[in-house]
Amino acid sequence: MNINIFIENIYKNEQLNNIGLNFEIDEESIYKNVKKISDYLLTNKQIYNNSCLNNFTFETVTFDIVLCNNEEIHRINKEYRKKDSATDVITFALFADSSDDEKFVFDGEIQLGEIIVSLEKIQEQADENNITFEDELYYIIAHGILHLLGYDHMTQEDYNFMVEMQNEAKAIVI
């Protein structure tokens, strides 16, 4: 299976100093690590068999990651989720959230959707939890990928499963 990941960083690197990040975002490194996380999650039979991909024939899955700040994710959260606050991640799961008759594979490819991540919120949470920015970033990206695959955390059991998978996936790159 091929995995296409498109990363868009709308957060200007010069703005990173304002949130305490003293480095530039290395999109190539993020891409490589997200690819490893995606490979891990998609080759895990338990995850795959219970995902929105099960029973479909395809060669490639594609998804987007947008890196932004609190202001932008707040705007998106308010507009699309009617929540008037910044959050760490928002996912738009195109394939998983479509009805069965709307799910389609075009030229062997499935478009999973989009993960929007606030780098500012990631740094805040990393500071609160006394972990590295990278730890929090990849934990949250794994969370977003699981949502794109159709997972949710409406029950404590589902929540515990997602946390376990996020920690396992993050451990591959940290």
Q: Report the pLDDT value the prediction gives residue 171, as an integer from 0 to 100.
A: 95
Q: Is the pLDDT of residue 75 over 70?
A: yes
Residue matched to tokens 């008037």: 84
Percent of the chain with pLDDT over 70: 92
Number of domains in the chain: 1
Q: Mean pLDDT in the chain?
A: 92
Q: Report the pLDDT value the prediction gives residue 73, as an integer from 0 to 100.
A: 96
Q: Is the pLDDT of residue 22 over 90?
A: no
Q: Residue 31's domain spans which residues?
A: 2-173
Q: What average pLDDT does the segment 21-34 reach?
A: 82
Which residue type is seen at 56? F
Render pLDDT for 82-139 as a digit per residue (tens, 0 to 9): 999 999 999 999 999 999 889 989 999 999 999 999 998 998 999 999 999 999 999 9
Q: Is the pLDDT of residue 24 over 80?
A: no
Q: Does the pTM of the predicted model rise above 0.85? A: yes
The band of 43, judged by pLDDT with boundaries at 50, 70 and 90, is very high
Q: Is the pLDDT of residue 15 over 80?
A: no
Q: Is the pLDDT of residue 12 over 90?
A: no
Q: Report the pLDDT value the prediction gives residue 101, as an integer from 0 to 100.
A: 87
Contacting residues for 19 by C-beta, under 8 A, at least 6 apart: 69, 119, 120, 123, 124
Domain CATH code at residue 12: 3.40.390.30
Q: Report the pLDDT value the prediction gives residue 88, as an integer from 0 to 100.
A: 97
